Homo-oligomer: A and B are copies of this chain.
Amino acid sequence: MKKIGILGGVGWPSTIEYYKSICSISQSYWEERGHSTPLPTPEIAIESLNMNFTVNNRGSDATSSWDVWDRYFQMALQKLEDGGAELILVASVTPHARLEVISQRLKVPVLSIYDAIGQFCVSSGIDNILVLGTLPTMTSLAFIKGVSKFGVNAFYPPRTLQSNVVSIIEDLYHDRVDGLDASVESIVEKSYPLEGKGEFAACLGCTELPTAFRAIPTKPVFTKNRVIYLNSTVIHSLSAFQACLE
């Protein structure tokens, strides 16, 4: 298996979900093939950044305003490549908006979460996805553009419901899980009434959200009350695991 690099720390709980997900996917894969224990995992390098520094160095629309932020990410990606990573993931949706800039000097591929989700939708016959995520995710066009090249139509909850999504993520971050699956379901229902629509899924586009459903770290998709939910962390991790087998 190829060595996987993970750019993490933004935030660190999300890095844990990615690492756990890749290791669990690998162990399930080798267990199904009758491999002896301990079940193999790929070698994985992680560069975990200081989120206090990244948040305080976010840019604006002004030219050069992202320079410090970009350089911080570029250096960490370079370290992963120098340490032998053969493919890299950024373990967070939000920095993907600047993925092209920060990865342009690398020789090894950085697998985009937009590509992973776009490809997954194509192979699953899903045309429309409602993306639930952090406020930077739901107020940027990056996710929508990222999956549109696969013919997938992504959209966000209406502005009035976005703050509800954010407060659910906040609760999950502090381990208050009870009843939040129903809150997510209600937002989905209000954002996209299901009657008479085509193939649709709600994309949990932030690492905390699947924990509301106590989701399994190896399952890219699950269904509840007729709604298909995509676990973006698992879909992204699966794309890395498949690439590391090639």
Contacts and interface: CB of A to CB of B under 8 A. Distances in A.
A109 B115 CA distance: 41
A223 to B, nearest CB: 24
A43 B51 CA distance: 9
A50 interface: yes
Contact of A15 (B19, B42, B49, B82): B19
A51 B19 CA distance: 15
A9 B41 contact: yes
A40 B48 contact: no
A12 interface: yes
A68 to B, nearest CB: 15
A23 interface: yes
A16 B1 CA distance: 21
Interface in A27-54: 35, 37-53
Contacts of A53: 40
A62 interface: no
Nearest to A27: B12
Number of copies: 2
A151 interface: no
A232 to B, nearest CB: 20
Contact of A79 (B9, B45, B49): B45
Contact of A48 (B41, B48, B84): B41
Contact of A19 (B16, B23, B37, B43): B16
Contacts of A47: 43, 45, 83
A200 to B, nearest CB: 33
Nearest to A78: B83
Contact of A12 (B20, B49, B84): B20
B20 A38 contact: no
B16 A12 contact: no
Question: Which 3 pairs from chain A and chain B are nearest by CB?
Answer: A46-B46, A40-B52, A44-B48
Interface of A: 1, 9, 11-13, 15-16, 19-20, 23, 35, 37-53, 55, 79, 82-84
Given A19-B48, A41-B50, 16 more contacts: A1-B50, A11-B38, A12-B19, A12-B23, A12-B41, A13-B20, A15-B19, A38-B55, A39-B52, A42-B50, A43-B49, A44-B46, A45-B48, A47-B83, A82-B82, A83-B83
